[in-house]
Amino acid sequence: MNSFQMIFKYWAKSKKNFIFQFIFLLLSTIFYTFTPIFIGRMIGSLVNANELLVNFLFVLGFAFLVYIFNRAARSRGAVVSSRAIYHLRTDISNAIYRQSFSFFDKTETGQLISRATSDIEETQMIFGMGLNLGIQSILQMIGVFVGFLLFSFELSIILLIAFVSSLTISYFIAKKLKPIFLETRESFGELTSTIRENIVGAEVVRMFSTQDKERQKFQKNNKRFYNASVDSVKFNSLYMPLVFVVIGFMTIIIFFLGGMWYIEGKMTLNVIITLISYIAALGFPLMMLGQIMLVYVQADAALTRVREILDSAPEIEDSPDAIPLKSAKGEIVFENVSFGYTSEHRILKDISFKIPEGKKLAILGTTGSGKSTIINLIPRFYEINDGAIKIDNIDIRNYFLKDLRSNIGLVSQETYLFNKSIADNIAYGKKDATHEEIVEAAKIAELHGFITSLPEGYNSIVGERGTRLSGGQKQRLSIARALIVKPKILVFDDSTSSVDVETEFKIQEALMKIMKGTTTIIITQRISTIRNADLILILDRGRVVGLGNHKELIESNVLYKQIFETLHHKQKSKGGVINE
């Protein structure tokens, strides 16, 4: 689908208003086309006051009707354009929501924001002014040309040549403008990305005193946007003088040839005035058609970027024969699983293990061994390259994604909180959560005492990305958010790393009740958690190098023994609770 088809697709979202708009514009054009005829008759009736008055009233009446129908058309057009933009915004929003994690890995956030906001704004003129004035200008051009044909075939041929020449030049100007407008949109996206990075990374920028470096980066992107904008204005300014040249040329031709034919008795004065009036009437549609062509090119550049998102198919979707998973038992099996974020580099290689339902698995390994990658594969955030992951003996690719993920409670290292109340953040995954359920989840996460100490309690706003909370408080809130949905599978990715040992011990005690009958996977550096796990998975360079309980591995696995002793020494030196 190209931009032209796309524009009509969204115009058609309001067919009834579109049809009425066309009818009103057609009626307006009819009266617009008749007006020059009666202006010419006014000149021919200068010797008769009554006839002059009648023609004057006709011109006045036609002008009033043109105004009425134009206003009605604009009113309908406003609905058409507003609905078009509304549906376009909805579609791009839905397209972003349905994308897989890999899409966001490859796409800059600033570019996404730019396409979903400023690029959409760039299309408003074509959906609004473009529709109304485009149809109106085309109809008026046809009306003027028909009027010329009625009065002078020879002059209508000259008019047609001038009109075609004008639009041809306009087309070539627009063609030159397309890459410039595209550069404008791309550079604005880069500008948005730079601003976002400086806001999100404000602490890092100031910590390393790199404000000057960031200013230079912003200035470079800002200059790129400025240059593209200036180039677009230069080309855009070429068309308007051209229109005045065409109008002036046709006016002179009519005066000269009309004057010659008047002298020869082949043309009357009122016909000459009528044709001059038609030329005056031609100015508006001729200017508008050229401008709309440029507006279309500008919108085309924006829509080209928007379509890249709309046409991006998510890498992970429900299979055609997907089945529901209402309540999982919780058995998880990895069968010869291999995975890489790129085709050239595999993070996980031939991973196989089994977690019986209701059991607890701790994952240990060296840095970059693939610990977090494993837990990202279970909810199908990424698609594996080889092998199979099964829950309750069924490949997870055969479940509906929504059902699969609703059975998994994930608490990741990087906790994202919305700028809403604490209660809203805890209940985010369960829209019908009661206050009692929210409080229960907060108590398990050892957060209830802190919340009740706040002036507004559970209604306290956490700030953007949870800036009003400490790291430990954010992690505990994230745990509460995962627990409130009562998942059959719980996954903790080093989720208590910002929590002190005593608080973690209390959380673990509270979680013991929840974990009974719940399959739990934990990436942690707390040795008490590791030792109490039913199974411990040891990873090294993307491969399984050990699987068993603490007793088995401490006796037989050298890497596990090294990791365990290192963590034991580190925790003991910090005065942590070891619980030997």
Q: Tens digit of pLDDT for each residue in 4-60?
A: 788 888 888 888 888 888 899 889 888 888 888 888 888 777 777 888 888 889 889
* Mean pLDDT on 381-406: 91
Confidence band for 208, pLDDT divided at 50, 70 and 90: low
pLDDT of residue 579: 42
pLDDT of residue 377: 92
Residue 509, pLDDT above cutoff 70? no
Cβ-proximal residues to 435 (8 Å cutoff; 6+ apart), any chain:
423, 458
Q: How far is 527 from 535, CA to CA, in rounded Å?
A: 13
pLDDT of residue 98: 83
Confidence band for 265, pLDDT divided at 50, 70 and 90: confident
Instruction: Count CB-CB contacts under 10 A for residue 480.
Output: 26
Residue 388, pLDDT above cutoff 90? yes
Half-sphere exposure at residue 168, Cβ-oriented, CA atoms within 13 angstroms: 7
Cβ-proximal residues to 243 (8 Å cutoff; 6+ apart), any chain:
166, 283, 286, 287, 290
What angle do helix axes 49-97 and 269-310 make, rounded to 10 degrees? 10
Residue 79, pLDDT above cutoff 80? yes
Structure tokens at 337: 């699983």
pLDDT of residue 338: 93
Query: Which is more confidently placed, 118 or 9?
Result: 9
pLDDT digits (tens, 9 = 90+) for 475-486: 888 888 888 888
Question: Residue 9 is inside which H or E element, if any?
Answer: helix 3-11
Sign of CA dihedral 192, 196, 197, 202: positive
Query: Which is more confidently placed, 313 or 574?
Result: 313
Domain ranges of the chain: 3-310
543-548 and 535-540: which strand pairing? antiparallel
Buried b (16+ CB within 10 A) or exposed e, 276-287: bbbbebbbbbbb
Burial class (CB in 10 A: 0-12, 13-18, 19+), 237: exposed
Of 497-506, 510-519, 531-540, highest mean pLDDT:
531-540
* Mean pLDDT on 211-225: 80
CATH fold of 3-310 reads ABC transporter transmembrane region fold (1.20.1560)
pLDDT digits (tens, 9 = 90+) for 409-437: 888 777 778 888 989 988 888 888 899 98
Confidence band for 387, pLDDT divided at 50, 70 and 90: very high
| Distance from chain centroid for Cα 244 | 41
Nearest residue to 185 (alpha-carbon basis) of 244, 135, 245, 123:
123
pLDDT of residue 505: 67
Confidence band for 391, pLDDT divided at 50, 70 and 90: very high
pLDDT of residue 395: 93
Question: Residue 390 is inside which H or E element, if any?
Answer: strand 386-391
Query: Which is more confidently placed, 472 or 400?
Result: 400
Structure tokens at 313: 């198919």
pLDDT of residue 577: 44
Sign of CA dihedral 374, 380, 381, 384: positive
Instruction: Count CB-CB contacts under 10 A for residue 471.
Output: 12
The overall average pLDDT reported for the chain is 81
Please say whether the beta carbons of 107 and 190 come within 8 A: no
Residue 204, pLDDT above cutoff 90? no
Please say whether the beta carbons of 461 and 420 come within 8 A: yes
Using alpha carbons only, what angle is made at residue 182 by residues 179 and 185, rounded to the nearest 5 degrees? 155
